[in-house]
Amino acid sequence: MRKLVFAMAAWLGCGGLATADEVVLVDGSRIVGQVTSQTESMLVVASPVLGELRIDRDKVQSLVITLPAPGTPGTPGSAPIGGTGNSPAAGSDLVPGAADTAAGGVADADQGGADEKSRSDGEAGEAAIPASQPTEVDPWSYRLEFGMSGQSGSRDTANVRGRFEAERKTETQKLLFYVQGRLAEDRGNTIASEMLGGSLLEVDITRRVFWYAKSEVENDEVEKLDLRARGVGGAGYYLVREAEQAFRVHGGLGYQHEAYFDGQVNDDLLLEAGEDYTLKLTSWVDFKHALTYYPLLTDLSDYRLEMDNSLVAPLGGAKQWKLKIGVRNDYNSSPQRGVDKLETYYIGNLVFDF
């Protein structure tokens, strides 16, 4: 009698629902209606004849949900949903035989629709955006600076200076190597003879915060300095970081070794504090400023102060060739005997970027 009632419900339900869900029970009965909800233990079906039915999942052989066919809303299709432990294979939702065939047909149709959509999307994408090969950007850049000046007559002077930089820059990291030198004579006497080289590594922690490590070695005959080696590590913070300008402060702790021609040797811990500012004055002129303070940790009255200010502008319409003009000030609170505390350099260099 129970099978007869379910059979009549299924027959009447099929007549009233063009797109209905079908529940197949383990005893072979079929219920046609709309599945309104389902859990791991219960299935709720709204039947036009029997009303709302709550069916234990362990009594369900398979469940077939009727879906509209791809591209034609309202057209019946079927897809298996949810399996039971009583099905022929674990995780299988289909009844052997016709149910498998129906589900297979729907799967093929869905796959065909997906393939067709993929082809359509691909054709549309090719039409809208031409295919292009990605280009790999070299993170390394190089800069060569050279400048000279001279005078004859009442004074006979010559001044030659140069600098080379190699920089690797990514979105979050900057690595810089540099070497520079200066030679100046006045009436046959050497008034400047120095060589300097160093490295700098900066890594962003956040957009505002970064850490850095840098080292520098120097030789200066006029200052009677055979070797000054310095290494510093610290952290910094961007107060302003925009496309047109950037202003940041930084501080750290380092070690300094100095050896002079007379045999004097100094080894000290030192602090570092400074600020940098860059500004794009126009689309083709850049201004840079840097101020750094190096006091000895054991005696803050013994310090060095370095300041750089420069303008860089392209020459004509060239992008690689530029002109750099600027001023550099070096102040040493405790210089060697016969050496001025403050040294000022005026820079007028030809720059080549590559």
Of 216, 218, 215, 164, the residue nearest 192 (C-alpha): 218
Last residue of one domain, picked from the residues 124, 159, 190: 124
Same domain, 94 and 165: no
Last residue of one domain, picked from the residues 94, 124, 154: 124
CATH number of the CATH domain containing 110: 2.30.30.100
CATH number of the CATH domain containing 299: 2.40.160.40
Containing structural domain, residue 99: 2-124
Q: How far is CA 192 from the centre of its chain?
A: 44
Q: Which tokens sit at 68?
A: 């509209």
Last residue of one domain, picked from the residues 78, 97, 124: 124
Print pLDDT tens along the chain (354 aa).
444 444 444 444 444 444 578 888 877 788 888 888 888 777 888 887 677 788 887 788 888 877 655 544 444 444 444 444 333 333 333 333 333 333 344 334 344 444 444 444 444 433 333 444 545 667 899 999 999 876 666 566 788 999 999 999 998 999 999 999 999 888 878 888 999 999 999 999 999 999 999 999 999 998 889 999 999 999 999 999 998 999 999 999 999 999 999 999 999 999 999 999 999 998 889 999 999 999 999 999 999 999 999 999 998 877 899 999 999 999 999 887 878 899 888 889 999 999
d(CA 246, CA 224): 37
Same domain, 223 and 308: yes
Let me know if residue 130 belongs to a domain.
no
